[in-house]
Chain A
């Protein structure tokens, strides 16, 4: 590649310079014909290291894990055609969960675009609905500006994935570099500060509440660690209960007595009942997703709803709210705290006491109870023991795949801090957890990173074991093995008379040997009495581990809001199913 010619650079060199100026240090990718010049440029520098994954899908999830655990933008680099199409799932996942990513895709040279050239696909067309924004770079002199803009769009406002599609001839063309500008973007200007009078009004509503609740989500985490601190301060100063969505876990300390646990389909009884019965609800950086609301028409029917969100399109999308506040969560919470502290009125302590008394009655249901009897390991018990063994370690990151194990992890693993919990919430992508753990471990080499997995999900991106081996990443994979796609099986029991169509996992590998073949350590446990020793060993080993935990096969995940039901109609255990069959309307929901 030509070096500088009168201050001019190749497109590839411009890209590397722009990434360096954006403080990128890690890229997850996979080479191919259309990105060879980029790889050549990467080879000739030292500030950015490249992690070679084994399939592009893995690169995107790894970048997501990196982004979620650091709060920085994750970067992926893939080739044209199949490289780009393999990236689509990860892009959609990041779009749904508002994860900042920049994905650079190679493209065939500009003169071949539209010709059905080898490894050509319409990347910007395909990724348009699953990215926050995308670019096709047609002129090398636009490249630096586009890269800087892409990072700005990805990380600001409601974060999301951005694709830069770079034709090979543009990557090889000679052009000039421009550093990032401080100027505001001409059209894209997210609203950061909430309206002062709305905030005042919100605090007034909150202070006047008799049965209040904080309902907070991933927006708190995306707003940065300061937002979580402010949230904790506001919740504590108010004495009000707080519940978190799946995406929000860690935004408020799980061990705090004011925390009601996760809400939603597999949330706690007390959280869902409190949501249903509250009179003032403050939704902070969450989006009234269908997993949260259950039956919309009966969702929290008697409450005034305050909704804080940076994305105006989240307001009134599913649930009509009384007081929307558009702005960054940290900004708005800070103003709310100021207002709260300077307010002359204080909450009605008597009403609050009655509310907590009611909540404690719901809590007394002990909805997450299970009984570990005998030697067959209950999956809940496995997570609980894993939590007990790791909770005093300050540097733990948990990722999950998707399914029952994910819900059990959310229920039984307590998160005290934000950015510690990486799970595919919106899209529900099986195969997310292993590459996400890989990306998290790359970002935090010394930390304990555990992928809580199911035996079905883990096989969806198992090839990334090879990446883990190459970079000697000590990722722990904790498989709850019940030989079923557990959540599918559970729904077949609920909705299809227990006819288990294709949900039994036949011909599973020997995970112990599988681990060993990738140079990792394999472990297996079948008895409850051996579980603690295996967990201890798994944590101690300074290598990647696959721990195959054989659990009770037919255990189902409770409590549960069955599809089409309202919050206050939770199933607390299998005995509830037969008494309340699911409606036909509920059958069509997912």
Chain B
């Protein structure tokens, strides 16, 4: 494979007008053109100007990534598209809520691992915990894998949010 064909993961931030259907436009673009979405988060970030920020994690060859950005820019309600993966250093975080059911030794072990990962206990019953964990995607994946043999029954993840380091704003 030439370098042109290697697929890489990219985190893309999109600033949009928070108008009806804007998320459908973005998602429809990805499904209609056969691009991947690994995760997608969206929320209003500038209430006064009614603007939302969408963070998309996707993967593709450099040509595909370039296409994705150009296609996003073409949508009328899109203000700005930034590829955080190549436009400089950035930080990424994801939050997960993880339910583990069990008793005895496994229950103690799950609590011990949660402590190592700095996961918080949000809810506890005699047979279950709900942990809240924040970190990058890899950390969350590692934690979930460790919880699996200890009685993991449910996971809810926010998807990645990301922001560029330094003084620049989107």
Contacts and interface: CB of A to CB of B under 8 A. Distances in A.
Interface stretch (A122-130, A253-261, A285-293, A430-438): A122-130
B76 A125 contact: no
Contact of B74 (A124, A311, A316): A311
Contacts of B70: 311-313, 315
A318 B153 CA distance: 45
Given A129-B28, A313-B70, A313-B74, 4 more contacts: A129-B32, A133-B75, A153-B76, A187-B77
Interface of A: 124-125, 128-129, 132-133, 136, 153, 186-188, 311-313, 315-317, 320
Interface string B46-77: 00000000000000000100110011011111
19 contacts: A125-B24, A128-B24, A128-B28, A136-B20, A136-B21, A186-B79, A187-B76, A187-B77, A187-B78, A187-B79, A188-B76, A312-B70, A312-B73, A313-B67, A313-B70, A313-B71, A313-B73, A315-B66, A316-B63
A316 B77 contact: no
Contacts of A311: 70, 74
Interface residues of B, number: 20
Contacts of A316: 63, 66-67
B148 to A, nearest CB: 39
A130 to B, nearest CB: 10
A320 B74 contact: no
B49 to A, nearest CB: 9
B25 interface: yes
Contacts of A186: 17, 79
Given A313-B70, A313-B71, A133 B76 contact: yes
Between A128, A153, A187, A317, the greatest number of chain B beta carbons within 10 A of the residue's beta carbon is seen for: A187
Contacts of B66: 315-316
Interface string B73-94: 1111111000000000000000
Nearest to A317: B67
Contact of B21 (A128, A187, A188, A317): A128
B52 to A, nearest CB: 13
Between B17, B63, B78, the greatest number of chain A beta carbons within 10 A of the residue's beta carbon is seen for: B63
Nearest to A130: B32
B4 interface: yes
A136 B21 CA distance: 10
Contacts of B25: 128
Interface in B6-55: 17, 20-21, 24-25, 28, 32
Contact of B76 (A124, A132, A315, A320): A132
B28 A320 contact: no
Nearest to A136: B20
Nearest to A187: B79
A49 B22 CA distance: 35
B79 A320 contact: no
A311 to B, nearest CB: 7
Contacts of B76: 132-133, 153, 187-188
B74 A187 contact: no
A-B pairs, 5 with minimum CB distance: A313-B70, A133-B76, A312-B70, A188-B76, A129-B32
Given A128-B24, A128-B25, A188-B76, A320 B71 contact: no
Nearest to B25: A128
Nearest to A320: B63
B67 A124 contact: no
A186 B67 CA distance: 23
Nearest to A124: B21
Contacts of B28: 128-129
B17 to A, nearest CB: 6
A315 B79 CA distance: 20
Contacts of A136: 20-21
Between A133, A188, A313, the greatest number of chain B beta carbons within 10 A of the residue's beta carbon is seen for: A313
B14 to A, nearest CB: 11
A315 B71 CA distance: 11
Contacts of A320: 4, 63
Contacts of A133: 75-76
A548 B75 CA distance: 45
B33 to A, nearest CB: 9
Nearest to A312: B70
Nearest to B78: A187
Contacts of B21: 124-125, 128, 136
